[in-house]
Amino acid sequence: MDKIILSKVEFYGYHGVFPEENKLGQRFYVDVELRMPLDKPGRSDRMEDSVSYAEVYELIKPIVEGKPFKLIEALAEAIASALLHHYTVINEVMIRVTKAHPPFDVHCQGVAVEITRSRQGEGRL
């Protein structure tokens, strides 16, 4: 399947289990893979035949920067659901949400969840 990929899109959000996370916020990184046929836009060279990654960003931004979720799993699910609902041409999405600074004593570049949702499984969303 063809893909449009947005890598490590940076947002500032207030997600987390602890009250300090909801109050202070932190950076989150979102990776998005939109799996869909790209042969038509590849031949036509017309934006109308594809999905604008600028529009995808504008759809994701209020989700990540808006209402706090306790779990990044729920945040990823909300993003996947919104994308599948808004763009019927997308067959499947992969969403990875990375919390760059988890609130425990660990030395890493972040913790992440990755989910894949498809149009066939849309009832789960």
Q: Is 25 left (phi over 0), alpha (psi -120 to 50) or beta?
A: left
70 is catalytic: no
What's the CA gap between 114 and 123, in Å, rounded?
19
Residue 119 CB contacts under 8 Å (≥ 6 apart), including other chains: 84, 90, 91, 92
Residues identified as active-site: 99
